[in-house]
Amino acid sequence: MIVLGWLIFGFIHSFLASEKLKLKAYGKGISPLNYRKLYTLLSVILILAVLLLGSFIEPVYFMPINKSSESVGLIIATFGFLLTKLSFKNTSFRSFLGLKEEEKSPKLQKAGIYARIRHPLYTATILFLIGFAIFSPSYVNLLHAVCLFIYLMIGVQYEEKRLIRTFGKEYEDYKEQVPMLLPRFGLRK
């Protein structure tokens, strides 16, 4: 049932993110700002619904819960939170949520954390998922994490294509220099 919930979420979320649907909505008089608000609201409702569905399943744990696993899970999730904060140093959190108009001519973000990884919000979400699955190691939470991880890996591919359409050669060059999800440690090229 949880997998079906995540499949429904993935389908609706991807459908609402499609350029075709956005242009159709804009043509019917829905502003980009209002569309983004609706997109964000529906996404949050769908995520909460799937998580709520999982909360009705009696937890069975794949590893023992103890202070060490809880601490490790919290540390990993905290890195995800810090990475999220770093990601929004160069971009607007309010625009991301649809609470503020986006720039008319967007600029490719390459400074700050974006100089080390192209998709820090995806990486942050993955860290949250891993941290939560270790903090509360139930099979249900592991299933949530696996389903979302798969969706993120699919989503990042669509995001890459959209960024290439938007920024062209500039993004292609950036893509050659900066890794997608994990920073390079050590000497840079």
Predicted pLDDT of residue 99: 79
Q: What is the pLDDT of residues 110-131, one digit of tens each?
A: 999 999 999 999 999 999 999 9
Above 60 in pLDDT, residue 85?
yes
Above 90 in pLDDT, residue 184?
no
Predicted pLDDT of residue 187: 55
Q: What is the pLDDT of residues 164-175, one digit of tens each?
A: 999 999 999 999
Alpha-carbon distances, residue 171 vs 92, 118, 160 (angstroms): 20, 10, 9
> How many whole angstroms separate alpha carbon 49 and alpha carbon 3?
13
124 CB-near residues (< 8 Å, 6+ apart): 80, 81, 83, 84, 87
> How many whole angstroms separate alpha carbon 52 and alpha carbon 2?
10
Q: How confident is the model at residue 101 (pLDDT cuts 50, 70, 90)?
A: confident
pTM: 0.89
* CATH label, 61-189, candidates 1.10.10.10, 3.30.1380.10, 1.20.120.1630, 3.30.2350.10: 1.20.120.1630
> How many whole angstroms separate alpha carbon 67 and alpha carbon 119?
32
Q: What is the pLDDT of residues 50-72, one digit of tens each?
A: 999 999 999 999 999 999 999 99
> What HEC string does the chain produce?
CHHHHHHHHHHHHHHHHCHHHHHHHHHCCCCHHHHHHHHHHHHHHHHHHHHHHHHCCCCCECCCCCHHHHHHHHHHHHHHHHHHHHHCCCCCHHHHHCCCCCCCCCCCCCCHHHHCCCCHHHHHHHHHHHHHHHHCCEHHHHHHHHHHHHHHHHHHHHHHHHHHHHHCHHHHHHHHHCCCCCCCCCCCC
Above 70 in pLDDT, residue 181?
yes
